[in-house]
Copies of this chain bind each other. A is one copy, B any other.
Amino acid sequence: MRIVDALATTDALSAIFDDASTVQVLLDVEAALARAQAGLGVIPASAAWAITQAARADGFDADVLAREARASATIVIPLVAALTARVEAIDPVAARYVHWGATSQDIADTAMSLLIDRACAAMGRDAAALAASLRDLSDRHAGTVMLGRTLLQPAPPITFGLKAAGWLAGVSRSWSRVELARRDAARIQLGGASGTLAALGDRGPEVAAALARELALTPGEDGPWHSSRDRLAALIAACAILAGMLGKIARDVSLLMQFEVGEAREAGGGSSAMPHKQNPSGCARTLAAAARLPGLAATMLAGLVQEHERAAGAWQAECPVIADALQATGAALEAMRGVIAGLAVDPARMRANVDATRGAIFAERVVMLAAPVLGRSVAHRLLKDALGRSQASGRSLAEIVRDIPELAAVVNDEVLRSLDDPHAYLGAAETFRQRLLASI
């Protein structure tokens, strides 16, 4: 993990995309290709053995490879040269069969599929843990009332359980999209120079199938996809949606954590200057990571316009974008998993904030009773008036309504008694909460 990227990755993901891992996965593909071909008698078995022996990242100089990659606009050309030299030292004849019938992009794309698979597996662990914490949070707070807030203003009450269920459902749907897109995107690439595998004569499709088996990747039977990148774009778009939904939770939590609101608090988060500070650090990290995704997704989407059989530029742009997108999404997942796991919720403060509105948020309830009798505009006017009196006097809306004959006439005693009670005006909150949990 590099310092400039520190907030936008995790230990697990930065290890997947570091140089040692990247070189090894490229070598794994070359070795798997050789074994697949040897298994079909396309190249000698001894060549596959030697290539597999040589395909160990520890002897390769990543810095040199990275530098040489720039000359040909692909890492694969210097990598194949270096691998060939190593195979040569083991078995000169085997060296003739390195990278047999493949094109650079075949290796790079298949390696990226493997990296994607690993990254999604790592993310999946955090996604599962986060989902479990959110479900638990929702269940624990099924009966915790709090202000609904719309356009950042108080609205009729909800339960914190409903809010958490909404967070969970959003994250779960979004993670499902990532999983679906991953299964479609992480597939082998083997097309040779022009995507026809002509160099392998009539053995091409067989070799491709065997390579898929070697790497346990989706075979992609409908052939190469050198310049058809919709599946990768779909994966990164799905990551961006997930990151956005995580960002939504982070925004909510950081707003609830405001000193003036005080309804929730994440653990940790100090300040270098202020001993009193309890920062929403996990939320900030989530939002920071999520902020990267729209731009990265847009780059993938713009890059779909790839020329002919293999593109000049748009393909070469993808690698760091995919690596950054997966890492930033994973960073948001990890950070939010930590936030939710350690979230301190303050039901008393939630209730106090409801009560502080002195019943103003229940004005709608009175309007619904008054409008059919008095007409909508009269009802609205009377309520605005009542709210003004409540605000001026510090008395609750219920008390004021009792004093206004037109309203008192349409609001029965039972309603009046419960008018300040948030539990009496939750509508379908619990129904929706349960349906959200069931929808996952």
Contact = CB atoms under 8 A, between A and B. Distances in A.
Interface in A366-398: 367-368, 371-372, 375-376, 380, 383-384, 387
A347 interface: no
A298 B305 CA distance: 16
Interface stretch (A122-130, A135-143, A210-218, A233-241): A233-241
Interface in A279-304: 279-299, 301-304
Nearest to A196: B427
Total copies of this chain within the assembly: 4
Interface string A75-112: 11100100010000000100111110111100000000
Contact of A295 (B155, B298, B309, B439): B298
Contact of A312 (B275, B284, B375): B284
A272 B99 contact: yes
Interface centre among A76, A156, A257, A261 (most CB of B within 10 A): A156
A273 B148 contact: no
A200 interface: yes
Interface residues of A, number: 186
A155 B277 contact: yes
A104 to B, nearest CB: 4
**A interface secondary structure, majority:** helix
A28 to B, nearest CB: 14
A148 B192 CA distance: 11
Contact of A364 (B193, B247, B289, B335): B193
Contacts of A367: 275
A39 interface: no
Interface string A140-153: 00000001111111
A429 B6 contact: no
A292 B307 contact: no
A270 B77 contact: yes
A180 B164 CA distance: 27
A317 B292 contact: yes
A319 interface: yes
A2 B21 CA distance: 11
> Which 8 pairs from chain A and chain B are nearest by CB?
A287-B313, A244-B304, A148-B194, A198-B427, A295-B295, A223-B432, A288-B316, A196-B427
23 contacts: A2-B17, A3-B69, A4-B320, A72-B270, A73-B285, A77-B272, A96-B376, A97-B372, A104-B273, A149-B309, A151-B310, A152-B280, A155-B194, A196-B432, A199-B273, A205-B428, A237-B238, A244-B305, A247-B304, A250-B305, A284-B312, A294-B295, A295-B298
